Structure 1
Amino acid sequence: MPMQFDQRSPVYLQVIRWFKERIATEELERGQEIPSRREIAAQLGINPNTAQKAYKEMEEQHLITTERNVPSKITMDPEIVSKVRTELLNEAVEQFVHSIQAIQVPLEEVVTKIEHLYESKERGKIDA
């Protein structure tokens, strides 16, 4: 479970983001068991208290469910998964639009470039 931490945000939020990305792409499937807090801390090389904080927050967001003496699991709720995917998409689009507006590229040029790159990647080649 490779993960690169940055200095911009707290580690527990980066752990949550990592889980959200895998939930959104269904790399982590609904109902799938996830490592214990101690296991994830060891795998990521983080403090167990940080892992605990991340899991607690994910429980509050209903991303995972935890029952006594049973491993935590990814939510079974398709609405939660959909919300996570929408949240990540909105964040990415907002960052992208902010970057593009900063360099004052006309919308038509941006759309054309996106369409070209998207189609190229679907065909398996990049000639952007």
Structure 2
Amino acid sequence: MANLSKRMPIKRLPMLPAERALKVIAGRWKAVILYHLFDGPRRLSALKAMISGITQKVLIQQLREMEEHGLVSREIFAEVPSRVEYSATSLGLSLEPILLALCQWGQHHADELNEMDRLADCIIRPRPTRETHASHN
């Protein structure tokens, strides 16, 4: 695991683990951004094109917050013009099953309240593990 203490200082997070987790993933776009990074590194322009309705300012803000919390890493390539790619860290990737579970619970909640017709489809989907996927190729 990467040593996160060398990163910029993290704002004080809640002491209760569940509250801490919710604080780190809170934000309208964080789950969607992470979902797109689960597949691999992306440039800012590619992320913006994949997420309709997000402004570049908000996208950058959400990426910075996730970078501060160790969920996303940013790599700057020494090219002309320079290229920047964002990737989910191993800590960020560990959220995939949690985000899927939250999506499924949200569907269950809407179903229980007879509001399925008001619900959008989940963007987070179960995927075969990389090992399973590799063994089928």
TM-score (norm. length: structure 1): 0.45
Question: Max radius of gyration: which structure?
Answer: 1
Q: Which has the higher helix share?
A: 1
TM-score (norm. length: structure 2): 0.42
